Amino acid sequence: MTRLCALLVFALGLAPPTAALASNCYAFVEGVPGVRYAALGDVAARAREVTITNVGHSTFRIETEQGVVIATDYFGASGEGPLPDVVTMNQAQENHFTDFPDPAIPHVLRGWNPDRTGPAMRLLTLRDVTIRNVTTDLRGWGASGKDGNSIFVFEVADMCIGHLGHLHYELTEAQYALLGRLDIVMAPVDGTFTLEIGKMIEVLKTLKARLVLPMHSFGQYSLTRFLDGMKDEFEIVVNDSRTITVSLDTLPSRPTVMVLPTRFPIEYE
């Protein structure tokens, strides 16, 4: 299957922007020209731990051991602490991006191409993290939804962390191949504005990440539906804090959905 995905990706002209770089996240690199597994010692991201805070809605604050601060789906809020070094955005709604990011933020990665001349292709290595994207379409008329969303992948601490953004459609084989291995996935679970909950569950069970962090739930009802659909294959944990620090060694041995509480108290048994 991985070789089939690889051939499909290259046949469609979807070669990943990191094809010239070593990556420990790609699932399909064996035997594909220009892409290789990272050898021990040459992975761009070598930090042991990463700290993740659920700021709210679809914004997570990611902090690396070498001091890189990232805010996902940034619309102005980035949590407590210094201003982010990097912000990622998606175009679906105004609470997933801002046209006026703080000019002191060094790296603003938009998940869409403002020129509408093709998909956005983002690639940034900053100290101990490499950030790349895989575009997906948004529901909408004409070209406005084409490649309007990006799944951002953060390669850090020897882990592959994926933020699904405002995902509207199930992933294709080519998109799964471009994502590669994901150890942690941040997934929208409202079931209305983004992908329907049953289909989101199918996507996550296909990705097989060891840790899923729900976001964009809007309330207890949709979150409970999502957790009920995941509990047959995933452990369900409601964390006491909105912040976790995790490493490759401390990822759950059994695939786990971990709820990081923000705006409303979480109850689930």
pLDDT given for residue 252 in this prediction: 95
pLDDT for the residue numbered 79: 87
Dist CA 31 CA 144 (whole Å): 36
Share of the chain above pLDDT 90, in %: 65
Where along the chain do its domains lie? 2-259
* Helix/strand/coil for 269: coil
CA separation for the pair 229, 112 (Å, rounded) = 31
Q: Which residues of the chain have pLDDT under 50?
A: 1-13, 18-20, 28-37, 39-47, 141-143
Rounded to the nearest 10 degrees, the angle between the axes of helix 197-207 and helix 220-230 is 40
Neighbouring C-beta atoms of residue 123, cutoff 10 Å: 14
Q: Using one digit for the tens of pLDDT, what is the confidence trace for 17-39?
A: 544 456 778 654 344 344 444 54
Kind and range of the H or E element at 179?
helix 173-179
Token readout for 193 is 């504005």
Taking the C-alpha atoms of residue 196 and residue 217, their distance in angstroms, rounded to an integer, is 12
Nearest to 186 by CA among 168, 172, 166: 166
- How many other C-beta atoms can be found within 10 angstroms of the C-beta atom of residue 48? 14
Rounded to whole angstroms, what are the CA distances from 143 to 89, 146, 240? 19, 5, 43
> What is the reported pLDDT for 12?
47
Residue 6 tokens, joined: 């690889």
pLDDT computed for residue 126 by the predictor:
96
∠ at Cα 112 (262, 244), nearest 5°? Answer: 25
Please tell us whether the domain made up of 2-259 is placed in CATH 3.40.50.1370.
no
Phi and psi of 60, rounded to 5°?
-115, 145
pLDDT given for residue 17 in this prediction:
52
Lookup: tokens for 64? 């690396």
Burial group, residue 265, by CB count within 10 angstroms (0-12, 13-18, 19+): exposed
Q: Which of 160, 153, 186, 234 is CA-nearest to residue 55?
A: 186
Question: How many beta carbons lie within 10 A of that of residue 260, not counting itself?
Answer: 23
> Which residue bears the tokens 């991006």?
97
